[in-house]
Chains A and B, each alone.
Chain A
Amino acid sequence: MAGGITSRWLRQFVQSSLRPNQLCALSVTFRAQTVETQSLCTSCNKHGRFGHRLVKLWEQPEYTTKPLPVYRTGGRLPTKVQHSNEIVPGRVWTKKLGGGDSREWHWVDRSRLTAEEVNAKSYYQEKVIKVQHDDSRSGMIALVAGPKKERWILATETMEAGTIITNSAKMIPDAEFVDGDAYPVGMIPSGTRICSLEFVPGKGAQIARSAGNYGTILRKEGVRVIIKMPSGREINVDEKCVAVIGKVAAGSHSTKWGSPAQKRAHGIRPGSGRKKMGDDRSTKKLTPVAPMVVIGDKKVLQRSDALEE
C-alpha cells in the first residue's frame, strides 16, 4: 500500500475496522477540515498517507515556535491494548517506511491571514528573523515576528533576515506586490506567480507549498479567480482565498536522490524493484490535462436533464 490511498472503499474499510474511539489521529483526516481541526493536522497525517510519523500536538495547549519531537510508527496503524487505554503500533499499513534520522517538527502557520482578518480588511507587517531548512518538508521556513507574536511560515526565494513583509486585505494606494507578501487573490494582479494558496477561505494553504513550486493567476471572472496550479491544471477559487506572492524557497533541495543512503536517512526502506524492471506492466500513461475544478460551497452534481431534453 505504498503511496497515496484515495479510494473511497478503502477509507470505509479502515473506518469500519477501527472503533470511533480509536480514530484519534486518523479521524482528523476523514472529517472535513475546519478551522478548529486545522491546528491538529500536520504534514505527517496527510489525507490518505497512514502510518507515517506523528507529532504530539494534543499535548500543546496553544501555538508554539519551539520545535517538537517526531515519533515514528514504522508504517503501523494504531491499535488498542486490551484492558488499558493505551494505544500502540499494531498491524502494518504502509511498507517501505522505517528508520531514518531523528527529526524535529516546526509548527508552520498555514494561514497568513485568517478569514476574520480578511473580512475586517486588516493590514499589518512582519519582520523576518531567520530562514532555515525544515526536516519535515522540502521547502524552507522563516521565523517571523509580527505585532503580537512570533510564528513560522513558508519562506519565499527572496526572504532574508531583516526583511519586512506585509499581510493585508485592504487596498492601499501605491501598493507594491513584492515577494513574500500575502494578499487575497482578488487583489493580486493577473499574471503574478503565487504560492501557498488556499482552496477555501480561512482553511489554510493547501497547494504550492513544496520547494520551488508556484502557481500563476490567469484571469478573473467577477468574484472568482482562475489559477494555474503547479501540475498544469486550472482551478477556480473565491477571491477571498489568501495567497503569497513568489516561489517557495528551495535552498539546497534537489529532485534526485544522491544515493540510497540519503533515502535511508530520510526513512524510506528498499522496495521490490518490480516497477523498474522495464516491462509493459508498469508504464506511465500520457493522459490529457483534466478540465478545470470549481471549488465552492455546494458540490456540482451531474444531472441527466440535458439528455432528456
Chain B
Amino acid sequence: MNSVLPKQHVLFVQNSIQSVFAKTVSPAVIIPCRKRVYYGSGKHKGGMIGRYGRRKYPPNWRVVNFNPAQIPKAWKPLDWDEKNRIDYEYESKLAQYIPGYKPKVAPHMREDHHDEPMHAIDNDTCSSYGFPQALALTKSVVVEGGLPAKLQELQKSLPNPEDKVIKIMQNALLFDVDSWMVDTKNAVKRYKFDNFRHPTPERYCPRILKEFVRLCDAHICRVSDKYHDRFNMHNLPCKTWFQRAEKTSENVDILDVLYDWKVSINVKPFMQLLSKNPLSLFATPDEVEETKNRELVSIYPKLLIHGIKPTHNYTPEHTTGFLETWHKPHLHTVVLNTAGDHSSKKTMGRMLFHLFCALHSRAVQQYGETPQVLAKPLAAQAIASDGRQFYAMTFQLNTTDLKDDTGVKNMVWTSAPLTDNLQIEDQYAPTLLFDECSPLLSYYPDYYHGYSPDAFATFQALWLNDVL
C-alpha cells in the first residue's frame, strides 16, 4: 500500500484505518485515492478530479460526519433518553459504597416534600410578572402625586455636584478596558457596522451606583456624624412566605384551581443599606385608614399566581440575611442592578417584590406569624437602575393579613406619574441620566448628550433621607 501511493498520502491512510475500527470518529477523514479533494480550495473546491468522477460525497458517508451544508443535527440522538434518565436505585447503591456521595433522590421522597404546593418567586423570575400583578399579590395601592413630599423637597434643597457626576459617567463609559479584551464568549464582533456598546451596562452600572454611594457618603461625613449608624451590604439573601386568597368571579370554573395559595419570595438585592434606627413613615394613620375604601388593581382574567411555578419541595422560613443580634437591623434602602431588563413595568414589579420580602420578614420576626394589621408600620425605599435609567420607589407595610382584598392596604409611592389604568406601558417613564454617551460620538464636545441632573437628585434624596 505504501509503495503504491506517494508519501504525502500515507499519513491520511493510517488515520482512516484507525478511525474505521475505532468508536470515536474523527471529523476529517480522507480516503486513499488519487487526487481526491473534499475540502478543497480554489478550482477544485467541493469537487473532485481523477478516478471517481465528480462525486460530491464520500462513499463511506455512514462513517464520516460529512456535512458541507452544515445541516445541524435536528434528530434526537439514540442515547439521549439514557443520559437524561436518573436511576434512583443505582444512586442509592452508590451512596453505600462511596463515602460522602450525595445521591439524587426522587422529588416525592425528599425530606422537604409537602402535599400542598408553594408558588415560588426567585431572583431570576421576579422581573417577569409586572407591576399590576405585584400590587395585587402584595395587597398594595399606589398613592398619586409621585414620591412623598419630604423626598421632593430634598431633591430641590440638596446640592447637586454636576461636574463630579459627569466625571463618574465618563469614567464608567468612556475610559474602560476594550470590550474584546474582556469578552471570553466571543459575543462582540469587530466590524465597523456592528452596533456594540462599549462597555456593556453589566459593566458600567455597578460602577456608577457605587460611585454615587461614595459621593453621598462623602456629603454625610462633611455635614453630620451619622455615617457610622449605617452599613451597606452586598448580595444579602432574603426569604419570606405568605398565604394569599382570591375571590372567584361569576361563572368562572377552572379545573384544579384552589383560590387559596402559598407564595414564597426569595431575593438577593444588589445593595442593602441597613441602619440603627428605623426609617420614618411616609403616611399618617389617617391616610392608612383611608386605604380601606380603595380597591385593588384587577388583572382579570389572570389569577394572582399567573406564571408562578408551583413546587412541592420547599422549606418555609423567614430570613433577613443576618442574625437577630445584628446591631443595624432596620432597612433603609434597597439598590437593584437591572442591567438587561428592557421593560420598565417589570422592573417596578421587581422592586416591589424586594421591598415586600424584606419588610414582611422583619414584621414576622417582630410581631409573629399570625396575619394582622401592624400597630407600627414599616417603611423602606428602593432604587433600580441599569446605569442610564433610574427608578425610585417607597413602600410602607401596614398589614400582613393578605387573605382578603378588604381592609387596610399597603402603600406605594413611585417617581413615575401613574394613572388609574396601570396596564398602559408608556406611563412608566424612568429618569434618564444621559441619552447617549460613547466614544463614537465624536461630534459632541464631551462625547455625551442629554444629561439630566434629576437622576442623581432622586438618588441622593432617597439615600440621605432621615440623616440630615
Binding site for B on A (CB under 8 A): 21-22, 24-25, 54-56, 58, 71-74, 78-90, 116-117, 120-127, 145-150, 164, 170, 172
- Beta-carbon nearest neighbor of A69 in chain B: B72
Interface residue B80 (Cβ < 8 Å from any Cβ of A):
yes
A212-B67 Cα distance, complex, nearest whole Å = 40
Asked whether, in the complex, the Cβ of B76 is within 8 Å of the Cβ of A148, the reply is: no
- Beta-carbon nearest neighbor of A113 in chain B: B255
Contacts of B301 in A (CB 8 A): 124-127, 145-147, 164
* Of the residues A71, A88, A164, contact of B65 by C-beta under 8 Å: A88
Asked whether, in the complex, the Cβ of A87 is within 8 Å of the Cβ of B75, the reply is: yes
Some 29 contacts from A to B, beta carbons below 8 A apart, are A21-B78, A55-B74, A56-B74, A71-B72, A71-B74, A72-B74, A74-B69, A80-B62, A82-B62, A83-B22, A86-B65, A86-B77, A87-B75, A88-B75, A90-B61, A117-B255, A120-B253, A120-B255, A122-B253, A123-B253, A124-B301, A125-B252, A126-B301, A145-B306, A146-B301, A147-B252, A147-B302, A148-B303, A164-B301
Contacts of B255 in A (CB 8 A): 116-117, 120, 122
CB contacts under 8 Å to A, within B213-271, are 251-255, 257
Q: Which 9 A-B pairs have the closest CB atoms?
A: A71-B74, A54-B74, A87-B75, A85-B79, A85-B78, A125-B301, A24-B76, A147-B303, A78-B75
A85-B80 Cα distance, complex, nearest whole Å = 9
CB-CB contacts of B78-98 with A at 8 A, as 1s and 0s?
111000000000000000000
Given A72-B71, A126-B301: A87 touches B76 (CB 8 Å cut-off): yes
Interface residue B364 (Cβ < 8 Å from any Cβ of A):
no
CB-CB contacts of B371-385 with A at 8 A, as 1s and 0s?
000000000000000
Shortest B49–chain A CB gap in Å is 25
A150-B303 Cα distance, complex, nearest whole Å = 12
A122-B252 Cα distance, complex, nearest whole Å = 7
Contacts of A21 in B (CB 8 A): 78
Shortest A121–chain B CB gap in Å is 7
- Beta-carbon nearest neighbor of B69 in chain A: A74
A208-B413 Cα distance, complex, nearest whole Å = 51
A21-B62 Cα distance, complex, nearest whole Å = 16
Shortest A76–chain B CB gap in Å is 8
Shortest B54–chain A CB gap in Å is 17
Count of chain A to chain B residue pairs whose CB atoms are closer than 8 Å in the complex? 106
Interface residue B307 (Cβ < 8 Å from any Cβ of A):
yes
Given A123-B252, A147-B254: A83 touches B78 (CB 8 Å cut-off): no
Asked whether, in the complex, the Cβ of B78 is within 8 Å of the Cβ of A81, the reply is: no
Asked whether, in the complex, the Cβ of A88 is within 8 Å of the Cβ of B73, the reply is: yes
Contacts of A74 in B (CB 8 A): 69, 71
CB contacts under 8 Å to A, within B27-41, are none
CB contacts under 8 Å to A, within B258-294, are none
Asked whether, in the complex, the Cβ of A149 is within 8 Å of the Cβ of B23, the reply is: no
Binding site for A on B (CB under 8 A): 22-23, 25, 61-63, 65, 67, 69, 71-80, 251-255, 257, 300-303, 305-307
A83-B61 Cα distance, complex, nearest whole Å = 13
Asked whether, in the complex, the Cβ of B254 is within 8 Å of the Cβ of A124, the reply is: yes
Shortest A301–chain B CB gap in Å is 37
A79-B75 Cα distance, complex, nearest whole Å = 10
Shortest B425–chain A CB gap in Å is 12
Asked whether, in the complex, the Cβ of B62 is within 8 Å of the Cβ of A81, the reply is: yes
Identify the interface centre among A71, A121, A148: most chain B CB within 10 Å of its CB. A148
A24-B71 Cα distance, complex, nearest whole Å = 18
Contacts of A55 in B (CB 8 A): 74
Shortest A233–chain B CB gap in Å is 34
Shortest A58–chain B CB gap in Å is 5
Contacts of A85 in B (CB 8 A): 77-80
Given A25-B75, A73-B71, A147-B303: A83 touches B254 (CB 8 Å cut-off): no
Asked whether, in the complex, the Cβ of B75 is within 8 Å of the Cβ of A54, the reply is: yes
Q: Is chain B's interface secondary structure helix, strand, loop, or mixed overall?
A: loop
Shortest A115–chain B CB gap in Å is 11
A165-B37 Cα distance, complex, nearest whole Å = 62
Shortest B225–chain A CB gap in Å is 53
* Of the residues A87, A126, A149, contact of B78 by C-beta under 8 Å: A87
Shortest A116–chain B CB gap in Å is 6
Identify the interface centre among B78, B257, B303, B306: most chain A CB within 10 Å of its CB. B78
Shortest A128–chain B CB gap in Å is 11
A164-B306 Cα distance, complex, nearest whole Å = 16
A125-B300 Cα distance, complex, nearest whole Å = 9
Shortest B298–chain A CB gap in Å is 12
Contacts of A122 in B (CB 8 A): 253-255
Asked whether, in the complex, the Cβ of A87 is within 8 Å of the Cβ of B77, the reply is: yes
A87-B307 Cα distance, complex, nearest whole Å = 36
- Beta-carbon nearest neighbor of A175 in chain B: B251
Contacts of B77 in A (CB 8 A): 85-87
Given contacts A80-B62, A123-B254, A125-B300, 20 further A-B contacts (CB under 8 A): A24-B76, A74-B71, A80-B78, A81-B62, A81-B65, A87-B75, A87-B76, A120-B255, A122-B255, A123-B252, A124-B253, A125-B301, A127-B302, A145-B306, A146-B302, A147-B254, A148-B254, A148-B305, A148-B306, A149-B307
Shortest B8–chain A CB gap in Å is 27
Contacts of B253 in A (CB 8 A): 120-124, 170
Asked whether, in the complex, the Cβ of A145 is within 8 Å of the Cβ of B78, the reply is: no
Contacts of A25 in B (CB 8 A): 74-76
A127-B255 Cα distance, complex, nearest whole Å = 18
A125-B255 Cα distance, complex, nearest whole Å = 13
Asked whether, in the complex, the Cβ of A81 is within 8 Å of the Cβ of B71, the reply is: no
Asked whether, in the complex, the Cβ of B71 is within 8 Å of the Cβ of A149, the reply is: no
Given A146-B301, A147-B254: A83 touches B65 (CB 8 Å cut-off): no
Asked whether, in the complex, the Cβ of A81 is within 8 Å of the Cβ of B75, the reply is: no
Shortest B87–chain A CB gap in Å is 18
- Beta-carbon nearest neighbor of B307 in chain A: A149
A237-B10 Cα distance, complex, nearest whole Å = 70
Asked whether, in the complex, the Cβ of B23 is within 8 Å of the Cβ of A83, the reply is: yes
Contacts of B302 in A (CB 8 A): 127, 145-147
Asked whether, in the complex, the Cβ of B75 is within 8 Å of the Cβ of A150, the reply is: no
A81-B300 Cα distance, complex, nearest whole Å = 53
A148-B63 Cα distance, complex, nearest whole Å = 49
- Beta-carbon nearest neighbor of B62 in chain A: A82
* Of the residues B67, B71, B257, contact of A71 by C-beta under 8 Å: B71
Identify the interface centre among B25, B67, B77: most chain A CB within 10 Å of its CB. B77
